[in-house]
C-alpha cells in the first residue's frame, strides 16, 4: 500500500515539475526540459529514499527557489537573443504590451493616488494593493509570453524578419534606439512612427514615476489633494 502511494507521490511530483517547466523560455525548455525532468526524477527518488515525504517537501522548496531564479535568468538571455530577431512591428506590439502596466499605473495615479501607494507598499490589511500587484504581474507576464511566441514565430519565418538592431546590440539598445534609428534611416514611415510612439508611451510614464512620483505623493499627502 505504502509502496503504491510513494510511487504515486513521485509520479505526481514529476508531473508538477513538468508543468513548472513552462515558466522557462520555449527554446530552453525544448532543449533541456527532458534532461531537467530526468534529473528531478533522480533527485525525488533520492530525497524520498533518505527522508520520505519530508525529503520531498524539502526538495520542493529548493526546486521552487532554483526555478524562480534560473527562469528569470534564462528569460533575460532569451531576450538578448530574441531582440535581434524581431521585426519593427513585433517590437511595437511587445513594447505596447509591456507598457500597459505603466500606463495603467499612471491612470490610477491620476484617479486615486492611494492605489499606487498600496501597490508599492502592500500589506495584508490592504487587499486592493495585493490585487494591483497581481494585476501588474499578470500584464507583464502576458507581455512576456506574447513576446516569447513572437520570437519563436520569427525564428520559424523567413530571414526578412531579421533585426531592427545591428549585430552585437543588446536588448536595451534595441528597445531604446532601434525605432529612432529606423526612422532616420528609412524615412518617416507609419510603422516606424507608431513604434516610436510606443517607446514614448513606455518610457515617459516610467520617467515620470521615477522622477516626480515621490514628490507628487509628498504633495498629495500634505493635503493639497481633496
Partner 1 sequence: MGNLTYAMDELLPLTPTVFHILLALADQKRHGYGIMQEVLAMTQNQVRMGPGTLYGSIKRMLQANLIEESDERPDPELDDERRRYYRLTDLGQRVLAAEAQRLSTLMDVAQAKHILGSAEVV
Contacts with partner 1, residue ranges (CB under 8 A) = 24, 27-28, 31-32, 34-40, 42-43, 62-63, 65-67, 69-71, 73-74, 77, 81
Q: Which of 96, 79, 40 is nearest to 173 (CA)?
A: 79
CB of 176 to partner 1, least distance (A): 24
CB of 40 to partner 1, least distance (A): 5
CB of 36 to partner 1, least distance (A): 4
Identity of the residue, 41 or 191, whose beta carbon is nearer to partner 1 in the bound complex? 41
CA distance 100 to 92: 12
Chain-centroid distance of CA 77 in Å reads 12
Identity of the residue, 46 or 207, whose beta carbon is nearer to partner 1 in the bound complex? 46
Instruction: Give the CA-trace dihedral at 131, 137, 138, 140, to 10 degrees.
Output: 150
CB of 28 to partner 1, least distance (A): 7
Query: If you search the block for the grid coordinates 532543449, which residue do you land on?
Result: 31
Residue 225, SS3 per DSSP: coil
Contact between 113 and 220 (Cβ < 8 Å): yes
Identity of the residue, 68 or 153, whose beta carbon is nearer to partner 1 in the bound complex? 68
Identity of the residue, 30 or 221, whose beta carbon is nearer to partner 1 in the bound complex? 30
Query: If you search the block for the grid coordinates 525532468, which residue do you land on?
Result: 37
Identity of the residue, 40 or 48, whose beta carbon is nearer to partner 1 in the bound complex? 40
CB of 122 to partner 1, least distance (A): 28
Contact between 175 and 80 (Cβ < 8 Å): no
Amino acid at each position: 500500500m505504502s509502496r503504491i502511494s510513494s510511487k504515486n507521490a513521485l509520479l505526481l511530483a514529476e508531473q508538477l515539475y513538468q508543468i513548472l517547466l513552462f515558466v522557462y523560455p520555449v527554446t530552453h525548455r525544448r532543449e533541456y526540459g527532458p534532461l531537467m525532468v530526468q534529473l528531478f526524477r533522480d533527485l525525488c527518488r533520492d530525497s524520498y529514499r533518505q527522508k520520505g515525504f519530508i525529503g520531498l517537501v524539502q526538495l520542493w522548496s529548493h526546486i521552487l527557489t532554483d526555478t524562480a531564479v534560473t527562469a528569470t535568468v534564462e528569460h533575460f538571455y532569451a531576450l538578448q537573443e530574441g531582440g535581434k530577431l524581431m521585426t519593427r512591428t513585433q517590437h511595437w506590439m511587445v513594447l505596447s504590451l509591456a507598457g500597459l502596466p505603466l500606463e495603467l499605473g499612471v491612470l490610477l495615479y491620476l484617479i486615486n493616488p492611494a492605489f499606487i501607494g498600496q501597490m508599492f507598499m502592500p500589506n495584508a490589511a490592504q487587499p486592493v494593493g495585493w490585487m494591483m500587484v497581481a494585476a501588474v504581474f499578470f500584464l507583464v507576464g502576458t507581455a512576456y509570453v506574447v513576446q516569447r511566441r513572437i520570437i519563436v514565430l520569427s525564428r520559424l519565418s523567413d530571414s526578412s524578419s531579421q533585426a531592427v538592431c545591428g549585430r552585437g546590440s543588446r536588448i536595451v539598445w534595441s528597445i531604446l534606439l532601434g525605432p529612432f534609428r529606423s526612422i532616420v534611416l528609412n524615412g518617416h514611415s507609419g510603422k516606424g512612427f507608431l513604434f516610436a510612439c510606443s517607446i514614448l508611451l513606455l518610457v515617459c510614464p516610467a520617467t515620470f514615476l521615477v522622477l516626480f512620483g515621490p514628490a507628487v505623493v509628498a504633495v498629495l499627502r500634505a493635503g493639497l489633494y481633496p
